[in-house]
Structure 1
Amino acid sequence: MADEEFEFKPFSVTYKLITFALSVGMIYPNPKTEKWRLASIPILVASIMPLALMIFYDMYKSWMVKDIVNIIRHSTVVGPFLGGFFKMILMYHKRIQAKEILDEIDRDHDLFNECADIYKDIARAAIKNSQVYSERGWAITVSTCVMTFPVMAIALNIYNFTFKSEPEKYMIHDLVLPETESELRFETPYFEAMFLYMFYCSILYVVNFIGYDGFFGLSINHACLKMDMYCKALEEAMLAPGEEVCGRVIGVIKEQCRLFRYVDLIQDTFNIWLGIIFIATMIQICTCLYHITEGYGFDLRYMIFVSGAVIHIYLPCRYAAKLKALSVETSNRFYSCGWEQIDDQRVRRMILFMVARAQTPIAITAFNMLAFDMELFTSILQSSYSMFTLLRS
């Protein structure tokens, strides 16, 4: 059968937007492009270093005159921006594990094409949910939070040059040219060059966050789909002819073991990143709130940005909590599968061990220590507000 006739296609075809972002961001774990990515990552990092160095220099000058608001304004933007390039390095380091995640997703999608309609319905609904929320929804969220800066700057510049006799220029991120008068940043050709340069950096910003973080969400959602599928397979096995029951149960056990291996790959690939965003997001929410309340007046861009920061930490916590809850729920589904109708003692003993194993929650942790769940999300918000209160005082 030709590939076009399959309903469930590989990851790269099913989630084209995330695949594109991963590829452009030099993150997609394709063994054929390893050398290309190894050469391209330093080039991309070098391309943004002038902007990063100018921001750090301006932060240093602000520190010398105790301009805390300007320091926070810069750090709020440059921290996550540089974090995006750390993701490139981290994903290259974890490229083998990430490729195994993709291979497992591709393998499962291939199997779905041969399943009965009842399994296809489950897979179809789960994939559609991932495409809508974890792919397109996340891409819209990131694009809105980041591209608000250049879009508002472009709109204000067009308005001022159209309707004002002495138009005021707006930069994407206001930055003073090192060792010059502050007003020189609006002079031609520096203003135009910096505007285009910052727009290029904004595009990289969007690509990095869409690809890496979206890949995490899709990976967790697929783990939940795997659990749904083998729970349904066990229920169907209990209705099979007597001589087929044992073989089908063994197949479910194999799928359960594959799920545990798959989650271990997710944990290994993303646990460092989860630890970093745990710390960074608390700081970012705090600094954004401080800039909005104590800075140079209300700024819609930073209001949207702080909302994005909250969503950025909410989603990993939500995904991890969903995985944890569903992993525990599988024990109830195993127990309720109808095993009492089966006289085969081997099958009963196998289901007993499956139930016992499923009662241990599957947790996604940061730095292999800190479990991500909704309680952690609440704690992050509380800690961020406490830091904000301390900073204001």
Structure 2
Amino acid sequence: MDEELEFKPFSDTYRKITFALSVGMIYPNPKTEKWRLASIPILVASITPLASMIFIDMYKGWLVKDIVNIIRHSTVVGPFLGGFFKMILMYHKRVQAKEILDEIDRDHRVFNGISEPYKDIARASIKNSQVFSETGWVITVFTCVMTFPAMAIVQNFYNFAFKSEPEKYMIHDLEKPFSAPEARFQSPYFEFIFVYMFYCSILYVINFIGYDGFFGLSINHACLKMDLYCKALEDAMTAPTEEVYEKVIAVVKEQCRMFRYVDLIQDTFNIWLGIIFIATMVQICTCLYHITEGYGFDLRYMIFVTGAVIHIYLPCRYGAKLKVMSVETSNRFYSSGWEQVDCQRVRRMVLFMVARAQCPIVITAFNMMAFDMELFTSILQSSYSMFTLLRS
């Protein structure tokens, strides 16, 4: 039956994000709660050896004041460990996240029964989300992370194929604990650690695709809800007199549903937004320092810092989009043609709807910092200030 429907549930509409959420153990399915609760500690335990090795190497760098090596490790391991924090956080917020999915699924079912002009709005919004918030985000994360193993594979292949004394390259250069520096290239340790790091790279990609992509899709859907009920109010004003009141009531109900839906988004992603605000600012600074003050220009870290900028730009962009759209609804309500309706009840309702829509909807981090383009500019400025301070 679902195959005959144009608008399908979230899991069928956004397959890439759903796959990443499921494999990353953060898809809020009540049927898999026990499985996820058991799997998260196993996944965390599987990356503990690599994290421990990195921290040991960072400690050794601290003892000899090797700041560049410490920054090189922290730039990669910080976001990597943050991905596993998302698993824990999403499990904690699994009820709210499930309600977000249920609301999206409910709306998609409704879309199948609405008239063609409304379907056109829904099609355009969903297509935009699939191209930019899903596929575009997948490509961005995959490029930023998998550049490390891809370049290591290419360099190793070239050296072994064309050089008499080939030099080995690791995905992330890391010394073998409590051993001589050259011990990391000895077989079979080198081959084992290379495969192990490749496994961790895949987890890295999955963790960032699913959680962050889900946030973008949720915000886009909130904007779609506003666009649709603005259109519904405009149509209500041209409806037969006896139908106007009921149609406006339906718009009010949808507006209230949208407010509850945004509250769920705020509750689900509030902590994560605060963490990436701080972490990304530090990461951009450390990446710039490594590129300029490290061991020469490194394409991998150049791509990585670009990804870090995109990573904080998109939540700010989504937050700004939601804020602008929420204020724009008041203008659309006012221009809906209410003055042509003689019913005083309808006029008073529209007045209250306009007044409520004039209060911008803001997504905040830690319930304090509003995510918008002004915050993005502030983050870049702060990162550069930290970078210049670190260089001095």
TM-score class normalised by the smaller sequence: over 0.9
Equivalence for 2:136: 137
Equivalence for 1:314: 313
C-alpha distance in 1 between matches for 2:107 and 2:38:
33
C-alpha distance in 2 between matches for 1:297 and 1:3:
55
Equivalence for 1:247: 246
Counterpart mapping for 1:1-393 below 5 A: 2-393=1-392
Displacement of 1:4 in angstroms is 1.1
C-alpha distance in 1 between matches for 2:132 and 2:159:
37
Displacement of 1:378 in angstroms is 0.2
Render the CA deviation track for 1:64-109: whole Å, top value 9, x for unaligned: 0000000000000000000000000000000000000000000000
- Structure 1 runs of 4+ aligned residues shifted over 2 Å read none
Gaps of 5+ in 1: none
Render the CA deviation track for 1:175-220: whole Å, top value 9, x for unaligned: 0011000000000000000000000000000000000000000000
C-alpha distance in 2 between matches for 1:233 and 1:130:
22
Number of equivalences: 392
Gaps of 5+ in 2: none
Displacement of 1:238 in angstroms is 0.6
**TM-score normalised per structure 1:** 1.00
Q: Letter of the aligned partner of 2:120 in structure 1?
A: D
C-alpha distance in 1 between matches for 2:313 and 2:254:
29
Q: Letter of the aligned partner of 2:24 in structure 1?
A: G
C-alpha distance in 2 between matches for 1:309 and 1:319:
16
C-alpha distance in 2 between matches for 1:106 and 1:236:
25
Q: Letter of the aligned partner of 2:130 in structure 1?
A: Q
C-alpha distance in 1 between matches for 2:178 and 2:82:
27
C-alpha distance in 1 between matches for 2:340 and 2:144:
55
Displacement of 1:295 in angstroms is 0.2
Render the CA deviation track for 1:116-171: whole Å, top value 9, x for unaligned: 00000000000000000000000000000000000000000000000000000000
**TM-score normalised per structure 2:** 1.00
C-alpha distance in 1 between matches for 2:143 and 2:121:
32
Q: Letter of the aligned partner of 1:339 in structure 2?
A: W
Percent of pairs with identical residues: 84
Q: Letter of the aligned partner of 1:317 in structure 2?
A: C
Instruction: State the Cα RMSD in Å.
Output: 0.3
Q: Letter of the aligned partner of 1:332 in structure 2?
A: N
C-alpha distance in 1 between matches for 2:145 and 2:53:
20
C-alpha distance in 2 between matches for 1:77 and 1:291:
12
Q: Letter of the aligned partner of 1:249 in structure 2?
A: V
Q: Letter of the aligned partner of 1:76 in structure 2?
A: T
Q: Letter of the aligned partner of 1:171 in structure 2?
A: M
C-alpha distance in 2 between matches for 1:368 and 1:387:
25
SS of the residue aligned with 1:240? coil
SS of the residue aligned with 1:214? helix
Q: Letter of the aligned partner of 1:15 in structure 2?
A: Y
Q: Letter of the aligned partner of 2:252 in structure 1?
A: I
Q: Letter of the aligned partner of 1:118 in structure 2?
A: P
C-alpha distance in 1 between matches for 2:257 and 2:44:
37
C-alpha distance in 1 between matches for 2:3 and 2:135:
23
SS of the residue aligned with 1:390? helix
Q: Letter of the aligned partner of 1:73 in structure 2?
A: R
C-alpha distance in 2 between matches for 1:205 and 1:308:
13
Displacement of 1:3 in angstroms is 1.3
